[in-house]
Chain A
Amino acid sequence: MNTCREMGIATVAVYSEADRKAVHVLNADQAVFLGDSDPSESYLNIDKIIAAAKQTGSEAIHPGYGFLAENPLFAERCESEGLVFIGPPSKVIRELGDKTVARRTVMGSGVPVIPGMNKPESDTRVLAGEAEKIGYPVLIKAAAGGGGKGMRVVTSPGDFNEACASATSEAKRAFSDGSIYLEKYLSRPRHVEFQIVADRQGHVVHLSERECSIQRRHQKIIEETPSTIMTPELRERMGAAAVAVAKASGYVNAGTVEFLVDQQRNFYFLEVNTRLQVEHPITEMITGLDIVRIQLEVASGNPLPFTQEDVRSRGHAIECRIYAEDPEKGFYPSPGKIIYMQEPSGPGIRNDCGIYSGFQVPVEYDPILSKLIVYAEDRSQAIKRMIQALENYIILGVKTPVPFLIDVLKSEAFARGDTSTDFIDTHFCGWKPDRCYADAACAAFIIDELTPAVKPKAAAGQENTELSPWQTLGQWGR
C-alpha cells in the first residue's frame, strides 16, 4: 500500500468480520467489508472479492501472500472480468500450483527434483504403497500447498493413515483442495530459495537467494540473505536453474523458486511460490529494489527496468517473523489482545507490522503479527543489530517468540551459519529463556502494585486528587 501511495495509485482493502480493526483496513484509501470471519465467507470468496473490485472501480488486484494468492481460479476470474491480477497468468499458477505438475515441468527442464510421487492420490492404500516404495521417512505434502499447511513427516507405517487424514483436512481448509502426495523426506537439508522477477516480454532475472532453513512446524521463522552456504559459483548455477524453471513455465511477475540443498551442496527443486513471499523484504534490503513496485510495473505491461548484470547486492539482511505463539510450549498459538507495544527503530531496522496497542489478535487466521527486518554491512553486524532490535521490541498481552529468537541469534550454531531445517530440534529442543532479571521483574511487579496512582485513566470516576504511591500501601498490610 505504501508503494501504491508512492506511485500515486489509490488502494482498496477488503476485510472480514474478525479484521474490522486490522491495519490494512485502517491504512487503505477505501475498505470494503466482505463478510463473516470464516475464510469461505470472506477472503476465499471469489465472487465477493470480484464484486468489491467492481463496486469500487478497481483496475487491479494484489492477492497478497495467503488465501487466494496462489489460486488459479481466482486469477482466471480476474482475467475474464477484465481486472489485472498482480501475479502470473492463471495457467502458470495452475501448473506450478499443483506441486506434482510443477515437478513434471521442472524435470523436463533438467533441474534436479526430490524423489517422490508426480501426481496426487486420495486412496490411502495406494499412498501407503507409494510410501513403502519411496521408503520411510516420507513427507506428506498438499498438492496445492505452501506455508507448511497440510504437511506431515511420517516415520513409520503405523502413523500413516491418521497423518494422511489430518493433512488432507488441513489442506482442504487452507487451500480448498485436499489432494496430497508423497516425497522422500530429506534429513537436515537447507531451504534456499531464489527470488525471480519476469516481465511479459520474456525477460527473467533472479535477485539472489534467501536462506530460510530455520523453521518450526515447517514454517519459516528466521530468513537471511545471502545464505552462508552460498559461493558465487553455486549462486550462478542455482540462479540459472531458477531462471530455467521460470522460463519453462512461462512465468510472469514476481515469484520464488525454492530448493533444498543437502550437506554436499547438491540442490533439488522443491516448488515455485507464484506470489510475493512473506520474506521478500530481505531481498529488497540487499538489492535496494522495491519488489512490489516491480510487480505493479510488470502487471501494467512494462518491461523490467534492469538486466541480470545490473542486479547488485550488498550487505546482509535478516528477517524474524513475530507470531502470537508460545516458544516454551511448542510454538503453540497464543491469541489475545495487544495491551501495549513499542516498535524498535534505528538505522537498518524495518518492521512490517500488522498490530498496534489495543489490537485483538484474531483466532481465525495465521497468527503472524509482524516481520522484523534488519540490514547491515555484514552478517555479524546484522546479527547484533537484530538482537538489539528484538530486545527493544516490546509486545505486552500475547506471547511471542522474541526471547527465543534472541537466543537463536546469540547462539554459536547460528553464528557459524550451521543452519538446516532441523536447526530448532537439534539446538533448541526444550528451550527455556534465561530469566536473569527475575528479581528486577518481581520488583517491577511490586512497584506496579504500589503505584496505582500513576494510572489516572484506570482510576476514572475516583477523586481527582493524586495519591502518593505510599498512601496506597495500606492495603498490603504490614
Chain B
Amino acid sequence: MDYRLKLDENVISFHAEKKGDHGIALSRDGRIVDIEYTAISEYHQYLVVDGCPLNVFIARDGNTKMVVIRGISYYIGDADAADSRSRGKKRDQIIPQEVTPPMPAVVVRILVSPGDSVKQGDSVIVVSSMKMETTLSAPADGKVRAVNVAKGEKVMPGQILIDIDRDTEPQNQ
C-alpha cells in the first residue's frame, strides 16, 4: 500500500509491504527498511528497525497521531486527508483578517474599539491562558469592524475575537 504522511510541513511518501505476521517492509525513495513489530499495548509498539530495537509510543491526538521515540515527539498525519480538510480554509490563511487566540484562553483586556484604525502588528487584545498573558496583534493595516467578545469571556482557537477590515483588498486583484 502507498501512504503519503505529513510530518511537520513535509509530506513523505511510503510504500508498505506485509512480511509475515509481525513484519513490514517500508520503502521510501527506493530505500527499503525491514521492520518487525509487536504491539505491547494500545499505545506501545516494540519495533525492530533494520535490527535496531525501539520502544515506540503512539496515540491519536486530534487529526494527527503523536509518536514518541526516545523522548522525541513526532506529529504525523495522513497528507491526503489533511489536504482535503484544509483546502476550504486556504484563502483565509493567506490573507488573515481576524484576530483569534492560539489556544483556549480568557479575554483580559480589549485595546481597541469598533472604528479604530490599526496598523499591522498593533496590539489589539490581551488574552490569558494558564495564568500567562498574551497580546494578540492586528494581522494587517485596517479599520476595526467589530469586537466580538467581552472582557472575562472564555474564547477558543478559531473563534474570531476582532474583525478588521483591511485598508486595501489584495484578494480582489
Q: Which residues of A contact B (CB under 8 A)?
A: 149, 162, 165-166, 169-170, 173-174, 217, 324, 329, 332-336, 339-340, 342, 363-367, 390-397, 399-400, 402-403, 406, 433-448, 450-451, 454-455, 457-458, 468-470, 473, 476-478
Contacts and interface: CB of A to CB of B under 8 A. Distances in A.
B42 A457 contact: yes
Given A440-B69, A441-B67, A443-B35, A173 B47 contact: no
Contact of B47 (A170, A444, A478): A444
Contacts of B3: 442, 446
B74 A478 contact: no
Contacts of B133: 166, 169-170
Interface string B47-86: 1010000101111110001111111111010000000000
A391 B28 CA distance: 27
A21 B65 CA distance: 26
A363 B104 contact: yes
Main secondary structure of the interface of A (DSSP, over half): mixed
A408 B43 CA distance: 27
Given A443-B33, A443-B47, A339 B67 contact: no
A406 B131 CA distance: 26
Contacts of B126: 166, 169
A324 B73 CA distance: 13
A403 B72 contact: yes
8 contacts: A324-B130, A365-B131, A394-B68, A435-B7, A442-B26, A445-B76, A446-B24, A448-B58
Contacts of A342: 44, 57
Given A441-B67, A444-B56, A445-B76, A396 B43 contact: yes
A478 B1 contact: yes
B97 interface: no
Contact of B76 (A149, A391, A441, A476): A441
A435 B47 contact: no
Interface residues of B, number: 57
A248 B34 CA distance: 69
A473 B72 contact: no
B65 to A, nearest CB: 5
Interface stretch (B11-19, B113-121, B142-150, B158-166): B11-19
Contacts of B33: 439, 443
Nearest to A446: B16
A170 B133 CA distance: 7
B76 A442 contact: yes
Nearest to B31: A439
Contacts of A447: 24, 35, 37, 39, 45, 47
Contacts of A448: 45, 58, 65
B130 A333 contact: yes
B103 A440 contact: no
Nearest to B65: A445
Contacts of A403: 71-73
Contact of A455 (B42, B56, B67, B103): B42
B59 A173 contact: no
A396 B76 contact: no
B135 A166 contact: yes
